Structure 1
Amino acid sequence: MASPGVCMSILNARKMKDGFGTFTNPERFNNQDFEQLKQYCQIRQVRYIDEMFPPDRRSIGEGVLSPSDLMRVTWNRPRKIVSNPCFEVDGISRFDFGQGMLGNCWILSSIGALTFQSVILKQVVPPEQRFDEDYCGIFHFRFWRFGKWVDVVIDDKLPTIDGNLIFVHSKNPTEFWPALLEKAYAKVCGSYSDMNAGTPAEALVDFTGGVHICIDLKEPPKDLWEMMCRAGQSKSLMGCGTPQGETSANTVLPNGIVQGHAYAVTGVKTTLSQGQQVNLVRLWNPWGEGEWKGDWSDTSMLWNTVSPEDREMCLKKRDDGEFWMPLEDFCRFYSDLDICCMCPEFLDENSSCHWKTAFYEGRWVAGTTAGGCMNDLDSFCTNPQYRVKIDELLSGCSSKKVEKNMLVSLMQKPDKRNRRLVKNLHIGLYVFEVTEEFKTQRGKFSASFFSRNRPVAQTKTYLNGREVMELLMLKPGEYLIVPTTFKPNETASFILTIVSKAETHVQ
């Protein structure tokens, strides 16, 4: 068994080629086989207990509960909490649950978005899990983690105080899929406390294995509304967050918006009000309550100015955490919008064009392949280099409108399992055009190339987050992509994702 805090199963290229860790063939997290473990328990007529994520204070972690509350925790199976537990009741919905004592709104808002996409939902939450005659206290869920899909096994012992769930809880006390899903994600993060604080982007990627695009709502693109409409139609997941503000996080403003909080975007709609077109965004608060109080809120008189059909379709006067607000107020009160999808086809007005995705694994190693940013020009050339040839767009994909034709994402991979112990480096990437005089170059490009050529694109800033990405418009030709840390001689692993509208060839 690996030492505490060490990631026990990091993907390597050979495993991917053999088909393990894919959407259809997830890798066993911690090498635990769900079917074998379930069969073992059934034959011996015992209830499963997960030794890899034991029902004790180690799995809760530090800093979430006070010492006195931690002493009161008991781990109970659903059948000890209620007499008639169910995995799900009348399907799976965002309205099933509310946030508990954990600051993991970034995960729960993403789960809310996930419930709209049945194909991905069935991947993350395998169906046909029941408290029936085959029940033996074992469940499993699937997540995408740093380049691979993993199947995560858990027992169903859940942390309670005085018989009540202390973390996420269903509004129907007999329904347990939200608490079990949260426990499985806590396991891959290291503990419940390792889920405390984060961004929707991280969970959205882990629930889809897809491409993430972040939009700064303080400087939104001109076609933001059209982009959101296409994203909603293309089975994308959308989440957003509010600024921290000057006071502590989770402060509720007079308008009902929570500071430093994550929400799910659950719908977009255009309606006519007094002859004027209004673009509305529907949002959901993972608390399961607490809503916007401004224009187009549940109690707004503006709903009397739209057609009866739109009013009937949109207006639900209940405190369930979901509400509508105009796009202008959305950009005003929210800081960023995260869109995550299997493929960024929503960026195109032309839906007939298909984007292609490729993953590449790499590593910066101090002293050899960790050259730092262009401030350190002498060592910069030692960084990993990816040479890309971009072909002409097919006629069906070309457009007179200037648009993006490539997305490049750089994600650093942790060397520790416990999320709170991961120290992200400041990372970024550069893109250089390979001009005619260098096209015969073989192998890595030397310092002379970078001293004579300026990047045609680069990340706006170096971030110490899990991922940075750039949307690019590159004409046909050859390019060099260089992922880097800000400082030289920093060791870390990474995944470079290249999503291209045109045919590309990578060395």
Structure 2
Amino acid sequence: MALPGVCMSILNARNTKNGYGTFAKPEPFLNQDYEQLKQYCLIQGVRFIDKMFPPDQRSIGGDVLKPADLSRVEWLRPAKLVPKPSFEVDGISRFDFGQGIVGNCWFLASIGSLTFQQQIFQQVVPLEQRFDEKYCGLFHFRFWRFGKWVDVVIDDKLPTINGQLIFVQSSDRTEFWPALLEKAYAKVCGSYSDMNSGTPDEALVDFTGGVHMCIELQDPPGDLWELMCRAGQSKSLMGCGTPQGDTAGNAVLPNGLVQGHAYAVTGVKQMMSNGTPVQLVRLWNPWGATEWNGAWSDESSLWQTVSPQNREMCLSKGDDGEFWMNLKDFCKFYSSLDICSLCPDFLDGNSSCHWKTAFYEGRWVAGTTAGGSMNNFDSFWTNPQYCFKIDELLSKCSTEQGEKNMLVSLMQKPDKRNRRLVQNLHIGFSVFEVTGEFKAQRGKFPAAFFRRNRPVAQSKSYKNAREVMAFFALKPGEYLIVPSTFSPNETASFILTIVSKGETHVQENSGGHGDVQHDIREPNPIKNGEEDEKKRTMFRQYSDMYEEVDAEKLQRLLNEHVLKGDMKSGGFSIDACRSMVALMDTSITGKLNDEEFVHLWNKVVGYKDVFFRSDVSQTGTLSLIELRNAITASGNTINDEILNLMALRYGASSGHITLESFISLILRFDRVNQIFRHLSNGKDMTLREPEWLYLSMYT
């Protein structure tokens, strides 16, 4: 049985801290360990069959083949297709393969770019894999997926019809690394069908885990050529795409380019043409055919205007899908360029200054930390916030005033394994400079800050894309980044990446509250001897012969004499009262004595007062935004992550918290904090198994 999500979150955080999820220690995808599986297969003398991505219709998906063709699919191992299969033959090249029937040109174009970077290629595709004496039908590949490296195992059963591969096909029928790599990525996406349609940046990032920059070619930066040259000289991968036509199909235009299609950028070169410098870009079509036929194409007469050396070096005639075009035509006929690199040094030409990269994982939760864009002033402040400081050292890395020194990327993480089911939200981010009175701000910046300040930088627009980014210049100072969805109350997880010159000090900014106009104070313990004696008298009317009350009697006491007419959901449930007894029971009898009961009564009355003071909308319930203020007013500090969990655990489907739910959650929060303080050293807590069971099964 799968572990609860909160437990997995803690384990993932610990694993990340211990280096798991890095390239050196990739996490086994779906908990399938390559070495253990291989050892088992070799000892047992069996061929591996992957139950997590079985060789059947589920792994193909429903949108690639017609039902009649789907029934004809036969999954065969390479040895059934050719007499002597090989993982790779005579090295790795973009010309090793061509696209099959699935619309994954974005993925294959990225592989074409990947073949130019041997070091990165071997990170993704371990080349020591062979069809030799240790062959057991098991292969593995590595991808960077949303913040961590994963190792993906597959069996080598490949889908065929009439003995022919139906997806990616190798130029040499005995070479199988392209088909196996495609199958591993299909497994990550959910199925082959889930690979239909996409953009190169997705695969480029998954191949590197590196810094990604997207350039809109309809409005390119002035230094586009210099940027592409630096990327070409560094360990970078580049891909691009043509605009979509009137239909969703890949129509071939008269100029030879394919609409709505992904290409790999395989080279950039400046050469002299009739004494004039010309900037050329080389591109590759993952179809392995169909090329540009305009200026600088294979048959263009312009090649006669360059030196014989350049012509011999660059011109390769043949319908292999690769061609040259000048930079102006490239920007005219392509819509976007994606550059992805292990090292962000390609961003500028200043090699004396190193770029630093930091990742932060967060989550928007409807009602608590999903405040929407700045169109929603009352809730925008509730979004996750990240403070950072740019010091003078960083600014010295810029050789010119206004030189760009920071790249910010916001990537949303899917909540579904199947890629085609993922519904990307419109996401973006804003950067604010922190000045004046707000420099002393502790906790979340309130709504007042955003009313008085406008962003100094931001993503160009809110896009329903996997990732949005912006590259900009900031002067030394203190800043605040706020990632958000366009609409409020949309739940999703995200990764915020900050790439900067020199050291930039970043921290998540949680806790605090917004502009609370009402007088909400921490509840003070009620120390009135006469009042307490009245409560004891009431208590004795319900207590047993040992002057104790159990959960059932406590339920009647609280509902009839404490909540009275303030109940919105029928009062405290019996389970809520059992929990209260366990939290307040100092003698472990399953009952409360009069002192424990009076202590609980006073707390409930105090929390009830906080509840109604926080209910500024006067609905008799707390919105999840009001919940944050109520928790702060109760004397507790809380970060966004815990607040999100509270909303999920105690909130109603309407997104509101009733009085009873609020009292239950705040009482538990208070008592669990006390337990930690008493059993820990203030930072960490270690429990033996019996202690953990003793504590968790009762409280």
TM-score, length-scaled by structure 1? 0.97
Contact 2:410 2:497 in 1 (8 A): yes
CA distance in 2, matches of 1:393, 1:309: 46
Contact 1:13 1:361 in 2 (8 A): no
Contact 1:352 1:396 in 2 (8 A): no
Q: Does 1:137 align with 2:137?
A: yes
The amino acid that maps onto 1:226 is E
Could you report, residue by residue, the CA deviation over 1:436-490 in whole angstroms, capped at 9, with x for unpaired residues?
A: 2211111111111111111111112111111111112110100000011111111
Within 5 Å, which residues of 2 pair with 1:199-210? 199-210=199-210
Aligned residue in 2 for 1:365:
365
Q: Does 1:233 align with 2:236?
A: no
Percent identity between matched residues is 77
CA distance in 1, matches of 2:402, 2:334: 28
Equivalent position SS for 2:432: strand
Contact 2:373 2:488 in 1 (8 A): yes
CA distance in 2, matches of 1:11, 1:338: 34
**By how many angstroms is 1:353 displaced?**
1.4
Contact 2:402 2:474 in 1 (8 A): no
The amino acid that maps onto 2:88 is E
Aligned residue in 2 for 1:292:
292
Could you report, residue by residue, the CA deviation over 1:201-224 in whole angstroms, capped at 9, with x for unpaired residues?
A: 111001110111111111111111
Within 5 Å, which residues of 2 pair with 1:461-476? 461-476=461-476
Contact 1:249 1:261 in 2 (8 A): no
The amino acid that maps onto 1:249 is G
Aligned residue in 1 for 2:155:
155
Contact 2:208 2:342 in 1 (8 A): yes
The amino acid that maps onto 1:203 is A
Q: Does 1:15 align with 2:15?
A: yes
Within 5 Å, which residues of 2 pair with 1:471-486? 471-486=471-486
CA distance in 1, matches of 2:2, 2:74: 27
**By how many angstroms is 1:427 displaced?**
0.8
- Greater mean alpha carbon deviation, residues 489-498 or residues 137-146: 489-498
Contact 1:241 1:261 in 2 (8 A): yes
Aligned residue in 2 for 1:387:
387
Aligned residue in 2 for 1:268:
268
CA distance in 2, matches of 1:401, 1:481: 22
Could you report, residue by residue, the CA deviation over 1:349-393 in whole angstroms, capped at 9, with x for unpaired residues?
A: 212211000000111111111111111111111111000011123
CA distance in 2, matches of 1:224, 1:330: 11
Aligned residue in 2 for 1:344:
344
CA distance in 2, matches of 1:93, 1:11: 40
CA distance in 1, matches of 2:262, 2:145: 21
**Structure 1: segments with no counterpart, 5+ residues:** none
Q: Which protein, 1 or 2, shows the higher relative CO under an 8 Å CA cutoff with sep ≥ 6?
A: 1
Within 5 Å, which residues of 2 pair with 1:81-92? 81-92=81-92
**By how many angstroms is 1:179 displaced?**
0.2
Please give the root-mean-square deviation of Cα atoms over the aligned residues, in Å.
1.5
**By how many angstroms is 1:36 displaced?**
0.8
Aligned residue in 2 for 1:25:
25
**By how many angstroms is 1:494 displaced?**
0.7
TM-score, length-scaled by structure 2? 0.71
**By how many angstroms is 1:248 displaced?**
4.0
Aligned residue in 1 for 2:426:
426
Aligned residue in 1 for 2:315:
315
Contact 2:256 2:290 in 1 (8 A): yes
Q: 1:429 to 1:394 in 2, by over 3 A?
A: closer
Aligned length: 503
Aligned residue in 1 for 2:217:
217
**Structure 2: segments with no counterpart, 5+ residues:** 508-699
Aligned residue in 2 for 1:126:
126
Could you report, residue by residue, the CA deviation over 1:414-434 in whole angstroms, capped at 9, with x for unpaired residues?
A: 111000111111111111100
CA distance in 2, matches of 1:312, 1:343: 32
CA distance in 2, matches of 1:247, 1:123: 38
CA distance in 1, matches of 2:74, 2:9: 30
Contact 1:389 1:504 in 2 (8 A): yes
- Greater mean alpha carbon deviation, residues 387-396 or residues 233-242: 387-396
CA distance in 2, matches of 1:63, 1:422: 16
Equivalent position SS for 1:257: coil
CA distance in 2, matches of 1:361, 1:463: 19
The amino acid that maps onto 1:39 is Q
CA distance in 1, matches of 2:317, 2:240: 23
CA distance in 1, matches of 2:152, 2:85: 21
CA distance in 2, matches of 1:30, 1:101: 27
The amino acid that maps onto 1:271 is M
Contact 1:11 1:148 in 2 (8 A): no
CA distance in 2, matches of 1:66, 1:394: 57
The structure that is strand-richer by fraction is 1
